[in-house]
């Protein structure tokens, strides 16, 4: 684990591997993030990236408008830095 992910409005954080998606790292750490296809199609894992950078390679599960607004898909984004995310409830 080389990067850290903080979850805004929660006191939790978990480690991120440069080789795994944010979703995979979260699940390995016991954090329950919403997901469906785990392949960049359905959009269920969408969350807001508050700070930091990721490399996202999706398959159409997120709109250009959402990306512009700062959203990412956790299942197909790998961290490039420490990040902070905000979950939709």
Least separation in angstroms between CB 11 and ligand FES: 25
CA 46, CA 35: separation in Å to the nearest integer?
8
CA 55, CA 31: separation in Å to the nearest integer?
21
Q: Which residues pair with 15 in a beta bridge?
A: 4
Toward ligand FES, which CB reaches closer, 11 or 67?
67
Which stretches of the chain bind ligand FES, using CB under 6 A?
35-38, 40-45, 61, 73, 75
Q: Which residues pair with 84 in a beta bridge?
A: 6, 51
Toward ligand FES, which CB reaches closer, 1 or 37?
37
Toward ligand FES, which CB reaches closer, 11 or 42?
42
């Amino acid at each position: 684990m080389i990067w850290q992910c903080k979850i805004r409005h929660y006191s939790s954080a978990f480690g991120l591997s440069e080789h795994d998606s944010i979703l995979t790292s979260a699940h390995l750490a016991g954090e329950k993030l919403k997901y469906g296809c785990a392949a960049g199609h359905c959009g269920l894992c969408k969350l807001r990236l508050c700070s930091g950078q990721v490399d996202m390679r999706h398959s159409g599960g997120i709109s250009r408008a959402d990306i512009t607004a700062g959203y990412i898909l956790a299942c197909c984004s790998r961290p490039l830095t420490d990040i902070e995310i905000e979950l939709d409830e």
